Amino acid sequence: MSNPINNTQLTVAAIQMNSQQNIEDNLADIKAAIIEAAAQGAQLAVLPENCCSMGRQFATAEHFDALSAMIAEYARTYGMYVLAGSLPCPYRPDGVIVPDGRLRQASLLFAPDGTRIARYDKIHLFTATVADKQGSYNEAATFEPGAQTVVAALDVEGAVYQLGMMVCFDLRFPALSQRLRQAGAELLSAPSAFTYLTGQAHWSLLLQARALDSQCMVIGAAQGGEHAYKDGHTRQTWGHTTMSAYDGTVISSYDASELNQSLNEDNKNYAIVLATLDRQAQNQGRQKMPIFDCHRLA
């Protein structure tokens, strides 16, 4: 379900993917999705977590700079902001190599001229026991947590919008969304790759809750479907790419995990969800219920 798009407001395309381990194929899907999002009038495209490869984190990290440059070129060529959901990066934002053989999970924002204007490193790393084929998850074995919150400015024809950046498991920590709001955020990006079971249980609820906590529009761009790994095992992600308004209302969503190829005449390996930030309604909602003026514990 998608609201009609008002071209005077910020139009966001949240992109659902089914990334596999072939980087070239994933890049082709990313490029095609950005082209389509631009054609539909979006000024910001948000890709999911692990957009360039599901798994193979260390092998993918070896190409971090080249992959970043390619996505930057897509942003420049098609004249829109592009948020590369996350890429595994071997170095910290200051250029220092991550110690202990680990990586950073970096979310990158590119401007329409191809300039990288923001990098956010995932702060909260997924640690859980899940009743699926993998059983347990410990991102900290592969990644070092980030330490800095990030709010980036998007200039769209002279109107400046403030985007607070999160990644996946960050959604479970309301203090982060609240801190981003306190730093001026109007929108929150949440590129994700929720497991099927955790997504089924909590995905929509978390997006709506963080929207309510922060009174921001929340953009949940997701991986969805089955991902095949080279060692023969598979992983299921929940999908259901969703955007929630400041009041927790779901304003746009792709209501499936698997991409529905029977409805997909072009056999696209992605889906696009469109929505607009209704800044006037959001500001009015914040004025009517000024929760950040009333908050006494932060």
Of these residues, 51, 52, 168, 216, which one is catalytic?
A: 168
Give Cα separations from 108 to 52, 182, 265, 277 (angstroms): 12, 21, 31, 21
Of these residues, 36, 89, 122, 216, which one is catalytic?
A: 122
268 is annotated as an active-site residue: no
Question: Rounded to the nearest 5°, which phi and psi values hold at 102?
Answer: -100, 180
122 is annotated as an active-site residue: yes
Residue type, 26: N
216 is annotated as an active-site residue: no
CA 135, CA 48: separation in Å to the nearest integer? 23
Of these residues, 36, 49, 144, 186, which one is catalytic?
A: 49
CA 173, CA 167: separation in Å to the nearest integer? 11
* Catalytic positions: 49, 122, 168
